[in-house]
């Protein structure tokens, strides 16, 4: 716990200046009509000025993230998807800040190694999906594998993407928000009705 005197609580200032920040989500590149490659390349340098928090000092740190994605369409009904995460650095997420909310809600270096203590490194998601066509207006999908719940539960269009919108924890509800994600093998079923 951080010990602060009463006056310094009101005077404590955290300036999380983004001195250097870039984020790029590559449009998917179709290698063939069945293989698609995409991904994210992002980096940021964060600096905090905390003059009165005991045990903490003004500091700045950076991080870079690369997340390639691969989609293989085996047939019109079958797909295989994999997303990998590689990162260098943890920015201010490594305990250098007195705040409990991570300054950058991205998958940084500590997040892509030994994911959820399962001895899995760098493989963020990997799944197989089969679509059953029930009739001309409806279909049923079954997905199994390592699934990221935020791909299906996080529909916040204004703050749902930690690389180009809000960086800190309360803004995006990415993979760090839903604790059930990336725990291992899981499944998903979805019924779709297509209006014509």
* Exposed/middle/buried for residue 112 (C-beta within 10 Å: 0-12, 13-18, 19+): buried
Structure confidence at residue 170 (pLDDT): 63
CB-CB contact of 105 with 168 (8 Å): yes
Distances (CA, A) of 154 to 94, 103, 167, 186: 25, 20, 16, 17
Q: Which of 100, 17, 9 is nearest to 52 (CA)?
A: 9
| pLDDT tens for the chain, residues 1 to 196 | 344 433 333 333 333 333 345 555 556 778 889 999 998 888 888 888 887 777 778 888 888 999 999 999 999 999 999 999 999 988 888 777 777 777 777 888 888 888 777 778 888 889 999 999 998 899 999 999 988 777 777 666 666 666 666 666 666 655 544 544 555 678 888 898 877 6
Say what the pTM is. Answer: 0.74
What are the sequence ranges of the domains in the chain?
29-39+65-193
């Amino acid at each position: 716990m951080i010990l602060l005197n009463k006056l310094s609580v009101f005077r404590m200032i955290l300036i999380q200046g983004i001195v250097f920040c870039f984020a790029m989500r590559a449009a998917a590149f179709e290698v063939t009509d069945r293989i698609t490659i995409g991904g994210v390349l992002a980096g940021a340098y964060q600096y905090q000025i905390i003059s009165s928090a005991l045990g903490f000092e003004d500091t700045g740190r950076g991080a870079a993230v690369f997340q390639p994605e691969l989609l293989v369409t085996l047939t019109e009904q079958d797909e295989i998807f994999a997303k990998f995460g590689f990162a260098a650095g943890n920015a201010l997420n490594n305990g250098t800040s007195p705040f409990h909310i991570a300054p950058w809600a991205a998958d940084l270096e500590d997040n892509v190694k030994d994911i959820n203590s399962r001895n899995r490194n760098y493989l963020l998601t990997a799944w197989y999906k089969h679509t059953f066509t029930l009739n001309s207006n409806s279909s049923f999908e079954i997905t199994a594998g390592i699934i990221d719940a935020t791909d299906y539960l996080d529909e916040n269009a204004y703050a749902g993407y930690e690389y180009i919108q809000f960086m800190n924890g309360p803004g995006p509800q990415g993979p760090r928000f839903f604790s059930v994600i990336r725990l291992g093998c899981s499944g998903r079923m979805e019924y779709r009705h297509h209006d014509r």
